[in-house]
Amino acid sequence: MAELARNTELQLDTKPKSPWLEAWVIFKRNRLALVGLGIVTFFVLLAIFAPLIAPYGINEQDLSKRLLPPSADNWFGTDDFGRDILSRVIHGARISLWVGFFSVLGSVIIGALLGLIAGYYGGLIDTIISRFFDILLAFPSILLAIAIVSILGPSLQNALIAIAVINIPNFGRLIRSRVLSVKQEEYILAANAIGMSDGRIIFHHVLPNSITPIIVQGTLAIATAIIEAAALGFLGLGAQAPTPEWGKMLADAKGYLVQAPGTLFFPGLAIMLTVLGFNLLGDGLRDALDPKMKQQ
Per-residue pLDDT of 127-166, as tens digits, reads 999 999 999 999 989 999 999 999 999 999 999 999 999 9
Answer whether residue 295 shows pLDDT above 60.
no
pLDDT value at position 58? 87
pLDDT, one tens digit per residue, over 205-236 is 788 877 888 888 999 999 999 999 999 999 98
Mean pLDDT within 20-43: 87
pLDDT band at 16 (very low <50, low <70, confident <90, very high): very low
pLDDT value at position 255? 83
pLDDT, one tens digit per residue, over 62-110 is 888 888 889 888 899 898 888 999 999 999 999 999 999 999 999 999 9
pLDDT value at position 12? 44
Dihedral of CA atoms 179, 185, 186, 191 in degrees, nearest 10, equals: -10
Q: Is the CB of residue 263 less than 8 Å from the CB of residue 80?
A: yes
pLDDT value at position 17? 59
Give the torsion sign (CA, 245, 251, 256, 261): positive
3-state secondary structure of 65: helix
**Average confidence score pLDDT of the chain:** 86
CB hemisphere CA count around 121 (13 angstroms)? 16
* Domains of the chain, first to last: 21-54+75-295 (1.10.3720.10)
**Distance, CA of 173 to CA of 222 (rounded, Å):** 18
Helix residue ranges, H only, the chain = 2-13, 19-29, 31-48, 50-53, 85-121, 123-137, 141-152, 156-182, 186-193, 198-201, 211-234, 246-253, 262-289, 291-295
The amino acid that residue 194 corresponds to is: I
pLDDT value at position 45? 95
* Residues paired with 221 in a beta bridge: none
* Residues paired with 87 in a beta bridge: none
- Identify the weakest region by mean pLDDT among 24-38, 184-198, 228-242: 184-198
Mean pLDDT within 119-127: 90
Q: Is the CB of residue 33 less than 8 Å from the CB of residue 280?
A: yes
pLDDT value at position 292? 54
Mean pLDDT within 240-247: 88
